[in-house]
Structure 1
Amino acid sequence: MLSVTNSFKIGTAVLNAEPSNDFSCEDNQIKLYLRPKPYGHSKFWRHLLGMARYLMFLQNRRRRIERRVFRDRQNPLDYMDDESLLLNYRFDRQTIFNLCAELEDGLRRPTYRNQSLPVSLTVAIALGYYASGSFQSVLGRAHGVTAMSVSRSIHSVSAELCHLHEHHITFPERQRDIAKVKQDFYNISGFPNVIGAVDGTLVPVIAPSVDEPLYVTRKGFHAINVQGICNAQFEFQNLVVRWPGSTHDAYIWNNSAISRFLAAANLNNSWLLGDSAYPLQTFLLTPILAPTTVAERQYNACHKRTRCIIERTFGLWKMRFRCLHKSGGYLMYSPQRNINIICATGILHNICIRRRIPIPATGDDNNDDNEGDMIQDDGYCNALQQDATGRRVRDRLLQHTFT
C-alpha cells in the first residue's frame, strides 16, 4: 500500500513504496502539501490528490465501524440465594423455575444466533422490573444486557402471562368453590353469602399520546382505573384493566363482563360487596347511606369490615410489585403495554398468595396509595342507581340477619 508522507517543502510529495497499514494525513494537510505546482504535471498531481482522499475515506470508514460487544450477562439464578431472590424478584428459586417452564414455549427463541437471551434471564429481568419499577438502563447494567433487551423482556413476559389469565384468575362457579368462598367471608365479620368484594384502584401511568385528557384523574395525575374482585384469601377472582383514570367505578362495573355474567346467573342469595360508588343490585350490596336503626348501623359495620378485604388486597398487590405503586413512579409505556403489565402482576400476585410467598421487608413506604383515589360523588351515584329489587334483597337481609 502506498502512503503519502508530508514534506517540509510546500507543493512537494514523496511516494514511499514500503507497505504501511496507517494513513495519517488530514484532509487539510493533503490540500496543503499536495497542491499542484503551477507549472507542468498538473494532471498527475490531481490524480494523486484524488487517490489520497480516497485512501483517507476508506481509513475513516474502517474506524467508524464499531465491533459488537457481547456483555458478561449476569443471571441471578446462578449466584443469588433464595433470600436475595425474594428481596429483588419477589419469588423463590423454585417458583421462578416453574414460571420459566410455563412460559418457555412463548419465550424461547428459535435460534441461538446473536446470543439471544435464555428464558430464565428473560423472566428474571421482567420480575426485577415488576418488583422495583426501576429504569431499563439500571436493570440492563445489573443483568449485563442493553436497555432495549430489558424492554423486550418486560413486554414479552407480560404478554405471555396475559395469555394464562384464565388459569390463574378465575371466578368461582362450582357449588363447592362458592360454598368455600362464602364461609371464608362469613368468618371475617358474620356477613352471609358473600362471594367476593369489588372495588377500583388507580395505577399511575405516563401521559399517553392519544386521548390524554381521558387518563387524568380527579387528583390531577394520569392513571388506569383497575376494577378488581377478590376472595377472603386476598386472591383476585376478576380483573378489569382497560379504562382510563377519569372513568367512574359504576361505569366500569356496568360495562364489565362479570356484571353481565352475574345478572344472567342464578346465584341463589349470593352477592358481592361494594362501596357506595356502585349501584345497589340483587347481586351487589352497598352500604346504607344514612342509617337510622341499630340493624342498619350493624349492617354497615359488618359490610365495611368484610368489604375492606379488597382494599387490603390492592395494598398487598402494590407492595409486592412496586411498579404499580406511587413510590415506583409510573408505568412509562403505551396504554396497551401498561395494561399487559398490570394484568401480568395480577396473575403473579395470585401465584404468590397460593404458594404463600411472603412480601419481603424492603424498608419502603408500604402504605397503599389507593386511599382517597376513588372518592367520587358516591352518594349521588348510589341514590340514582339503587335498584328496587336490590333494595328488597337488602331489606330482607337486614330483617333476617341484623335485627
Structure 2
Amino acid sequence: MTFAGPVWLAVQEELLGHREEDCGSPSCFDHFDEEALFQMFHLTRPCIAFIADAVRIRMRTVALKKPLMSVDAMVMVALNYYAHGVSTAEVLQRVGLTQTDCPTAVVGTVSGVIAGMSDQFISFPLTSDARVSLAAKTEKLCGIPNVLGVLAPAHFKIRASPYEKDTFRSFVNTEGYTSVVSQVICDSDGNILSVEKCCVGSTCEQEMWESSFKGRQMEEELQGAFWVVGGTGYHLSKHVLTPVSGPANDKEIRFNVAHNKIHSVMRTTLGSMKRRFKCLMQLGFAQEGSLNKKSNIIKACSVLHNIAKKFSVPPPPSAGKIEPLHPGKQPSVPAEISAEALKARQQVIDDYFSVVSSSQDTKTNTTEEDV
C-alpha cells in the first residue's frame, strides 16, 4: 500500500482508541443498507467508518467557528458530493439541509480536512528496503528495473469565463478543453504516491516537475537511484524515464512496449478515481488566482482513493469513456538531453531488452483487475 505499514497501524490504533469513546453512538450512515451505501457514496461501510473516524480526529485539531452539524453528517455530505459531483436530495434531506443551505461550504471544510491527511495516506516508501521492494514489483510487471512509479499530469475539467479571454486561454489544455492539472505519481498497483500542484490546464508538465517538491527531491537523489516513468511531455533525466522517440531496433521497440505497459497503469488509476469520484469529471467554475479549493478536492479524492484500495473497495462499473492521458505539451524548442541520462536509459535497454524475457509480452493495456 502507499503508506507504510507502521504508519497505517499507528493510524488504526489512534482511530480504535477514539472509537471506544464513540461506541454505541448512532451514525447517520446507519439508515442506509449496504447496497444503498455504495450507490450513494461508492464506498463500503467499514471504509466509510474509518474515514469518518479519521476526519473526526482531525477536526478536533481544527478550529471551526461554528460546526453546522455532526462530523458524520458533514462527511456524508462530502462523500456524496465526491461520488456524484452534486449533493443528492436524499442525503441533504437526511442531514437536514437543502441546496439553498450551501452544502458547498460543508464540502469545502471536509475537503480541507481530508486533504490535510495526505501526510498520512499519500507517501513514497520511507525506507531503502521498501523502495527496493516496490521497484521489484514494477519490474515483475513490465521488465524495467529500478522504477518506483508512474509520473503524469492529471487533468480535471473546469469551467472558466470566456469573457476573460487571457484567463480562459490559460485554462485550455492540449486536448482543447478547460482544466486544472495536478502532478500525480502512482505505483504499479495504482496507489497514489504523490499528488502536487493545481495549475491552469495549459501548464507544461516539465515545468511542474522541475518546480515540484517531489521532482527536486528525486533529481537531488534523496530517493536513491530510482526512476519514475514519464510520457513524452517530460524530458529524459537521471530519474525520469521516457520512451525512445523513433525506436530503431527490436530492443528499443521492446523497451517502449514495456514503458507503455507500466505507463498505462496511470490511465487506469485516474479512470478508477474518476469513476468513484465523479466530482473529478467536472470541478465547476475556477479562477486562476484561487485554485486552493480545487486542489483540496483533488487531494481529498486521492487520499480516499488510497483508503478505498486499502479496504479493497472496487470502483463503480464504467459508465462512460474516460479521457486518455494527455500526450503532453511539447516545448517550442527541443530540450537538450544530458548524455548521462541517454547513457543510463541505453544501459537499461541493452541489459534488459536485448532478448525477450518472460515479463515482456505484447500486452500494452492494463485493466482494472491488474491494478
TM range (shorter): 0.7 to 0.9
- Specify the alignment match of 1:323 in structure 2: 279
Alignment of 1:234-245 (within 5 A): 234-245=190-201
Q: Deviations for 1:82-105, whole angstroms, at most 9, x for unmatched residues?
A: 221122112222222222221114
| More displaced stretch, 116-125 vs 134-143 | 134-143
- Specify the alignment match of 2:49 in structure 1: 97
For residues 66 and 299 of structure 2, the distance between their equivalents in structure 1, rounded to whole angstroms, comes to 31
- Specify the alignment match of 1:225 in structure 2: 181
| Aligned partner of 1:205 among 150, 158, 164 | 158
TM-score, structure 1 length as denominator?
0.73
Alignment of 1:276-315 (within 5 A): 276-315=232-271
Change (3 A) 1:115 1:373: closer
- Specify the alignment match of 1:154 in structure 2: 107
Change (3 A) 1:304 1:372: closer
- State the Cα distance separating 1:142 from its structure 2 match: 6.1
- Specify the alignment match of 2:227 in structure 1: 271
For residues 300 and 312 of structure 1, the distance between their equivalents in structure 2, rounded to whole angstroms, comes to 18
Q: Deviations for 1:176-235, whole angstroms, at most 9, x for unmatched residues?
A: 211221121112121111111111121012216894432222344321112110101100
1:216 is the counterpart of 2:177: no
Q: Is the 8 A contact 1:201 1:374 kept in 2?
A: no
- Specify the alignment match of 2:211 in structure 1: 255
| More displaced stretch, 96-105 vs 212-221 | 212-221
Change (3 A) 1:218 1:285: closer
For residues 345 and 177 of structure 1, the distance between their equivalents in structure 2, rounded to whole angstroms, comes to 25
For residues 236 and 268 of structure 2, the distance between their equivalents in structure 1, rounded to whole angstroms, comes to 23
1:368 is the counterpart of 2:322: yes
Q: Secondary structure at the match of 1:243?
A: strand
Task: Supply the RMSD in Å over aligned alpha carbons.
Answer: 2.8
Q: Which has the larger radius of gyration?
A: 1
Residue-pair matches, total: 321
Q: Is the 8 A contact 2:171 2:178 kept in 1?
A: yes
Q: Identity over the aligned pairs, expressed in percent?
A: 22
Stretches of structure 1 lacking an aligned partner (at least 5 in a row):
1-74
The one-letter amino acid paired with 1:97 is A
Change (3 A) 1:179 1:216: same
Higher relative contact order (CA 8 A, sep 6+): 2
Change (3 A) 1:259 1:119: same
The one-letter amino acid paired with 1:100 is A
The one-letter amino acid paired with 1:279 is H
1:184 is the counterpart of 2:137: yes
Q: Deviations for 1:143-173, whole angstroms, at most 9, x for unmatched residues?
A: 4303335122101100101111110110123
1:172 is the counterpart of 2:125: yes
The one-letter amino acid paired with 1:394 is R
Stretches of structure 2 lacking an aligned partner (at least 5 in a row):
1-26, 355-371
- Specify the alignment match of 1:338 in structure 2: 294
The one-letter amino acid paired with 1:227 is Q
The one-letter amino acid paired with 1:399 is D
- Specify the alignment match of 1:77 in structure 2: 29
- Specify the alignment match of 1:384 in structure 2: 335
Q: Secondary structure at the match of 2:312?
A: coil
Q: Secondary structure at the match of 2:202?
A: coil
For residues 247 and 115 of structure 1, the distance between their equivalents in structure 2, rounded to whole angstroms, comes to 37
For residues 346 and 250 of structure 1, the distance between their equivalents in structure 2, rounded to whole angstroms, comes to 22
